[in-house]
């Protein structure tokens, strides 16, 4: 630029004539943020997938009760968060309550009782009962 006219000399170019200068400011900020956030999300998903909690007596009972009620056409199944666990004949007895909606739309409340046997590293549900 010449000081007297404020215009560029024909032989010189703009000082910021690279591709970065032609990129809008919002793109210069947004693209790195999206890339970093996407990478963090992928990393978190990989860590979460590998760190699943081990099965517990409660989770085995919950999944069995949910599967039983779903097979009967129930929906909106809510097993109580506080289940009682007792020892019975070398197995774990889990008891609590469950609420669900049957296929006619009526709310259904029931008591649950599961018996889970633990043999070394394996667990299996021996019985799962619902009573009104």
DSSP states of 14-80: -TT-SHHHHS-HHHHHHHHHHHHHHHHHHHHHHHHHHTPPPP-HHHHHHHHHHHHHHHTT-EEEEE-
pLDDT in tens, 82-114: 889 999 888 889 999 999 998 888 999 999 999
Q: Which residues pair with 112 in a beta bridge?
A: 96, 130
pLDDT at 52: 53
User: Rounded to whole angstroms, how far apart are CA atoms 61 and 95?
Assistant: 9
Short-list 71, 69, 87, CA closest to 132: 69
pLDDT in tens, 24-63: 888 889 999 999 999 999 988 888 776 555 678 888 899 9
pTM across the whole model: 0.57
């Amino acid at each position: 630029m010449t000081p007297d006219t404020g215009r560029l000399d024909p032989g010189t170019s703009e000082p910021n004539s690279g591709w970065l200068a032609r990129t809008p400011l919002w793109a210069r900020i947004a693209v790195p943020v999206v890339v970093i956030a996407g990478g963090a999300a992928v990393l978190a998903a990989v860590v979460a997938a590998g760190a699943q909690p081990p099965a517990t007596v409660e989770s085995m009972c919950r999944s069995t009760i949910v599967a039983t009620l779903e097979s009967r056409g129930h929906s909106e199944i809510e097993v109580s968060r506080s289940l009682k666990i007792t020892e019975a004949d070398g197995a774990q007895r889990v008891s609590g309550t469950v609420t669900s909606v049957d296929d006619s739309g009526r709310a259904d409340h029931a008591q649950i009782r599961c018996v889970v046997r633990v043999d070394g590293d394996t667990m299996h549900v021996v019985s799962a009962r619902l009573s009104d």
